[in-house]
Chain A
Amino acid sequence: MKRRSFLAALGAANLAAAMPRVAFAADNQLSVLLPPWGTLPKAMSDRFTKETGIALQIQTMGWDDIRTKVVTSMVANTAPADGVEFDWSWVGQFGAAGWFESLDDLVPAETVADIPTAKIFQYDGNLLAIPYNNDFRILIYNKAHLEQAGVAAAPKTPDEMLEAARAVKKAGIAKFPIGIPLSATEGTSTAWYLMTMAFGGDLFDADFNPLFTDPNSGGYKALAFILTALQEGLIDPAATGLKDTQVQELFQTGEITFDVAGWAGNLAVYSDPEKSKIADQVAAGLMPSTEGKSRTFGLPEAVGIPSIAANKEAAATFINWIAKPENEIEIYSSLGDLPPRLSVLEQLNSEGKLFAGDVLIEQSKTTEPLFKQGTPGWYPQFSSAVCSTINAAAKGQYGVEEAIAEIASQAKKAMDR
């Protein structure tokens, strides 16, 4: 009996497959796949449906898992959803694979012009996604720690940062003043890239030759900086097990002085007394630099449309809708995603709604892409080799020179296809 009903079910399923596929994605049906911080509150999604007449189905997935889902379905030649999360680090891969639709004709040029980070999502001259979360790095520190340690001003150079950290440690205010993730996760790599820029360096030249192998290069000095700070006890040895989010948690509880892993958007959380113990102590400054000119890079997250999506038009409507200034503001206040539009940032700041708004806006104007040529397809492989190598170096398995040589050889391997 059981077996028979089972077989019947299987037969029915076969029959369903044999019949011509009914286009179940009607015009007013839209599915989007986003991480938790891209999942609109119900009030907003209801308003979207009311304003556009499109029923919205949001699939929420952990960020790590979205890639698995996107790759699986695209390789199997189906769209994971009509609108899909698109991280800056995927641009080279998904661009080369041709998995995403060009948005050039679907999004008004004025919108794109107002979003400086949109250019990060260009591949081969085509705009593949529109940012909804403006992420860039900025110096986040605990000003009360610095005051107590007798440090007058926020560090302007990496060396000043080391000095300040030593003073804080000596005064016994924080046991491990510099918060930086050293686990084998992406946050570890991005912290090194950021420090590389602080030391005036770049990762690669125009032909993708590594620029970090020379002992005088920014990348080499940045790694030396991290390992020195670790040896001096300015960084927690347990950082080898910490992700960026965990370092942020430590900053929020006042255990560390500098949050080298912090996203600009985190300032809203850090300065909120309901969520943070150091709301009145947090401060932001421009990223330190040896060159006198502060630099940072953007790591925005965007929404794109798979080229085989069932309902591209509705997805474009969604992308344009969340890019509206009033909706970016609502997303910022409900989800904490920093608005990608410069005009919205400025508006929020003039209304006094943006914590450390002046610094944020000044730094956002210095935001460059990590790769001027556009994120290459081998970036994810390179970046995971970087964090794995830095993790091993932090555990004492490599010195600076060996680690740098390993990263260079892994870069070569990643580029070799």
Chain B
Amino acid sequence: MASQSGLRTRKPYRRDETILAFAFIVPIIVIMGGLVFGPLVNTVVDSFYRIDPMQPGEPFIGLKNYTRLIADGDVQTSWANSAFYVVLAVVAETLIGLGMALLLNRVRLGRKWLLAIAVLPWCLPPVVNAIVWMWIYHPNYGLLNQVLMSLGVINEAVVWSNDRIGGLVMVTLVHVWRMAPLTAIILLAALQSVPGELYEAAKLDGAGPLRSFQQVTLPLISGGLAIALSQSTVFAFNLFDEAWIMGGASLGTRSVIIQTYLSAFQDLRFSYGMALSLLAMIASLLVSLIYVAKVSRDTRMG
């Protein structure tokens, strides 16, 4: 952190430094500006118009799309579902991913292979992942019920998705299983920056494993943790493939992005759907901002 405080003092910008920096970031500006910000501005503007291919004209309607979204019962349900997905997925991915990262950081023998195994679920494309899990969840022939039955937990096939919460949990589990390795990799990359001497020092101070984790590890990986938490949040808000393949249009598992898809592409209420997708973006930004703000405050205090 000392290195940074040196940079923080206000000095006039050096011309050669600015030119070099500019050369490095031009590709970023060109690509992000052209392919992301341009289209984004376009969509934001569109969301204030009524763009509906089934109706003539594209009149300016101000905030009407947004006020209608707030009153729409199906949209409210999809927000509740997405909130469930986000909370459960972020907690589960962080705990599982952190556990994986800590384990991988400690294991010496065959670490390369264990790492590959841990990352494997993430190699499944989401669509394929959903199909594989549909087969696992299959009430009659699926692995889940067969294992539970042979363990004697249940006597006959249970259709877990017939329960409102059960359906949501099943979709979340599929998503968490695939995405936890992302958290693991990010945290592992952060963990390797923790110098071993710090643990030794903590150990000499008589700190137990839990305290040394709290006092040494956690503050040092907090930057990585913020990235991982934001990623989990954004991916959970953007949940589509798994919920769509497993639940279809069901209101019980419909996420905000599925609702976006249905509004814009099924119902052809195009700008209405786009307005909803913008709200989803703002929601995941705000939630992510909480982690980032927390981390930057903590690091400043540390």
Contacts and interface: CB of A to CB of B under 8 A. Distances in A.
B248 A395 contact: no
B272 to A, nearest CB: 10
Interface stretch (A92-100, A128-136, A204-212, A346-354): A92-100
Contacts of B248: 183-185, 243, 387-388, 391
B250 A71 contact: no
Give the one of A72, A183, A394 with max B CB within 10 A. A183
B54 A384 contact: no
B29 to A, nearest CB: 12
A17 B273 CA distance: 30
B251 A396 contact: no
Contacts of A381: 262, 266-267
Interface stretch (A50-58, A110-118, A233-241, A277-285): A233-241
A19 interface: no
A246 to B, nearest CB: 10
Given A384-B249, A397-B164, A71 B268 contact: yes
Interface residues of B, number: 34
Contacts of A392: 250-252
A75 interface: yes
B159 interface: yes
Nearest to A3: B27
Contacts of B53: 71, 74-75, 93, 96-97, 99
Interface string B279-291: 0000000000000
Give the one of B159, B252, B268 with max A CB within 10 A. B268
A388 B266 contact: no
Interface string B244-267: 000111111010000001101111
B77 to A, nearest CB: 10
A6 interface: yes
Interface size class of A (residues with CB under 8 A): 35 or more
A288 to B, nearest CB: 27
Contacts of B161: 240-241
A103 B152 CA distance: 63
A395 B270 contact: no
Nearest to A64: B244
A4 to B, nearest CB: 10
Contacts of B51: 75
Nearest to A187: B248
A377 B52 CA distance: 12
B121 interface: no
Interface string B131-162: 00010010110000000000000000101011
Given A377-B54, A387-B248, A75 B164 contact: no
Contact of A240 (B27, B140, B159): B159
A389 B73 CA distance: 13
B30 interface: yes
B54 A68 contact: no
A175 to B, nearest CB: 10
Contacts of A380: 266-267
A184 B249 contact: yes
A67 B250 contact: no
A7 interface: yes
Give the one of A7, A388, A417 with max B CB within 10 A. A388
Nearest to A243: B248
Nearest to A189: B249
Contacts of A96: 53-55
A414 interface: yes
Contacts of B27: 3, 6-7
A75 B270 CA distance: 9
A26 interface: no
Given A237-B159, A240-B161, A241-B159, A377 B268 contact: yes
Contacts of A269: none
A10 interface: yes
A378 B266 CA distance: 9
B52 to A, nearest CB: 7
Interface in A38-88: 67-68, 71-72, 74-75
Interface string A272-310: 000000000000000000000000000000000000000
A377 B55 CA distance: 10
Contact of B159 (A184, A238, A391): A238
Interface in B11-61: 26-27, 30, 51-55
B249 A388 contact: yes
B165 to A, nearest CB: 11
Nearest to B264: A71
Nearest to A381: B267
Interface in B94-153: 134, 137, 139-140
Contacts of B251: 184, 388-389, 392
Interface in A171-214: 183-185
Given A3-B26, A391-B250, A417-B54, 7 more contacts: A74-B53, A240-B159, A381-B266, A388-B249, A389-B251, A395-B252, A396-B162
Interface of A: 3, 6-7, 10, 67-68, 71-72, 74-75, 93, 96-97, 99, 183-185, 237-238, 240-241, 243, 377-378, 380-381, 384, 387-389, 391-392, 394-397, 414, 417
25 contacts: A6-B27, A10-B30, A71-B53, A71-B265, A71-B268, A74-B53, A96-B53, A97-B54, A97-B268, A183-B250, A238-B157, A238-B159, A241-B134, A241-B137, A380-B266, A380-B267, A384-B249, A384-B262, A387-B249, A388-B254, A389-B251, A394-B162, A395-B162, A417-B52, A417-B54
Interface of B: 26-27, 30, 51-55, 134, 137, 139-140, 157, 159, 161-164, 247-252, 254, 261-262, 264-270
Leading 9 A-B pairs by shortest Cβ distance: A184-B250, A97-B53, A184-B248, A238-B139, A96-B54, A384-B249, A381-B267, A185-B248, A184-B249
